[in-house]
Amino acid sequence: MEYRIEHDSMGEVRVPADKYWGAQTERSHENFRIGVGIETMPAEIIHAFGILKKAAARANAELKPQKMTSARLEVIEKACDRVIAGELSEHFPLVVWQTGSGTQSNMNANEVIANVANEFAGEKLCHPNDDINMSQSSNDTFPTAMHISAVLALEDRLIPAALMLIEALKKLEKENEGIVKSGRTHLQDAVPIRFSQEISGWRSSVERDVELIKLSLDPLRELALGGTAVGTGLNAPEGFDSLVAEKVSELTGREFRTAGNKFHALTSKDELVFAHGAVKALAADMMKIANDIRWLASGPRLGLGEIHIPENEPGSSIMPGKVNPTQCEQVTMVAVQVMGNDAAIGFAASQGNFELNVFMPVLAYNFLQSVRLLSESIVSFVKNCVCGITANKEKMHTNLHNSLMLVTALNPYIGYENAAKTAHLAYEKDMSLKDACVSLGFLSEEEFDRVFRPEDMA
C-alpha cells in the first residue's frame, strides 16, 4: 500500500495515499481498533455532517466573507455534496468506540471535505480546522449531526413504515367486519369480541405511536451549532447560530432552529431520550401485535388456529412440513433490541458532566440502529405477514361457542354467583352452558335460548 505524509498539531502521520482522510482521522483509526468495519459511525451521522458543514460554510460566507471566500465556498460545497450523496463512505472509517465527544468523526469530516475541496480547487485552498471547521467545535457539531440525523431518520423511515402498517391493518379490519370470536384476557377465555375490533386495537396503537413520535420531533429541531466549545459561542460570529440553522433548513427542506440555550444543547441529551422513548413505545406495541398474531396462528391443529398467516419458509430441519411464524419472531427480536438500546441511551444521556456529554457516539449509534431496524422490521412484517392474514372462521366459531365465559351474558338474568355455578358445572362435567344452567334450574331451555346470543355480545 502506498502512503502519503499528513501532519497535525502532534506531528506527522502516514495516511493511505488513496484515502481522503488526514492525520487526526488516521490516529483515531490506529488507536481505536474496536469493532472495526462493523460498528463504524452510522452513515446517517456522516450524511448529517455533510449537511451541517455545507450550511456552516454558507453562513460563514455571509458573516465572514474575508475568510470564507467565494472560491473556498464553491469547492467546499462541492465536497459536501459528495458526502451528502454517500459517495465518500469508504473515507469515513472511524468506529463508534472513540472519543465520547465525537471529535474524531468531526475531524474526519473536516479532513475529507478539505482534501476533496482542494482536489476540486487544484491547490491547497482549504484547511480542515481553519476553513471546514470555521465557527464550529466538535462539541456543537456532533450534537447537531445527531439531531439532524434523528429527524431525517424518523420522518423518512420510521413514520412511513408505521403508516404502511396502519394502512394494512385498516384493510384487514375492513375485510373481517362481522366476524365474532372469543376474546381473551390473562391468556384465558373472555367474552366475545369482533375480530375487526381486535384489529382496530392494533391499528389504534400504531396510530398513537406515530402521534408520539411526531411530538418528539419538535425538540429535535433545535440545533447546538453556534455554541462552539462550551456553549458560549467563542470564535463564532454574532448571528451565526440562527443563520446556520436557517441554512440547514434550506438544505434539508425541514424546519430546524437554533437552540435557545447552548449550554443545555451541548451537555443534555434529553431530546434524544424523549424521542427514543416514543420509538420504544412503537417497539413495545409491535411486540404485542406480533405476539397476538403468532398466538392466534398457533397450531395448526393443537393451538388456537384462529387465523392463517403466510407460509414463507420451512420451519424445521427435522420435522417435515413444519412452518413457523418467522415474521412475528423477527419483529419481537427487533423490539427487544430497541428496548435494550433505550437503556443504553438513557445511561449515556445521564453522563453529561459539566459542559459536555461524552457518550454521544454510542447514543447516536443506538438511536439510529433502533430507527433503522424497526423501520425495516415493520416493512418486512407488513409485506410478508400482515398482508396475508386470513381468518379461520370455522375455528373462531367453534372456540367461541365452547367458551365458558359466554356465561357472562346470563349475569343480568340469574346473577353473578349462579352464573359462576353454571360455568363451574359445565367445566367439571364437560357439558354445555345450556345443559348446566337448565340442570341447575336457573333457566328453562326456552329462556336460555332467548337470552343467550354470543354473536350479540360483541
Q: Where in the sequence numbering do the catalytic residues fall?
A: 186, 316
Q: What is the DSSP letter of 223?
A: E
d(CA 163, CA 184): 27
Question: How deeply is 311 buried, as exposed, middle or buried, from its count of CB atoms within 10 A (0-12, 13-18, 19+)?
Answer: middle
The set of cell numbers assigned to 389 is 392474514
- Helix (H), strand (E) at residue 353: strand 352-353
Please give the radius of gyration of the chain, using alpha carbons only, rounded to the nearest integer.
30
Beta strand 3-8 with 11-16 is antiparallel
As given in the structure block, the three cell numbers for residue 373 are 431496524
**Grid cell at residue 383:** 409485506
Chain-centroid distance of CA 369 in Å reads 7
Determine contact, residues 43/16, Cβ cutoff 8 Å: no
Q: Rounded to whole angstroms, how far apart are CA atoms 173 and 289?
A: 14
Chain centroid to CA 400: 38
Residue 166 CB: number of other CB atoms within 10 A? 19
Q: Which three cell numbers stand for residue 34?
A: 474496536
| Grid-cell match 437552540, residue found | 259
Contact 68, 60 (CB under 8 A): yes
C-alpha cell at 222: 433545535
121 and 71 Cβ atoms separated by less than 8 Å: yes
415: left (phi over 0), alpha (psi -120 to 50) or beta: left
Q: What is the dihedral of CA 213, 216, 221, 222, to 10 degrees?
A: -160
Q: Which residues pair with 356 in a beta bridge?
A: 353
- Number of CB atoms found within 10 A of residue 105's CB: 30
Helix residue spans in 221-359 (DSSP H): 240-252, 262-267, 270-296, 326-349
Do residues 109 and 132 lie in contact, with contact meaning Cβ atoms separated by under 8 Å?
Answer: yes
Phi and psi for 101 in degrees, rounded to 5? Answer: -85, -15
Length of the chain in residues, anyone?
Answer: 458
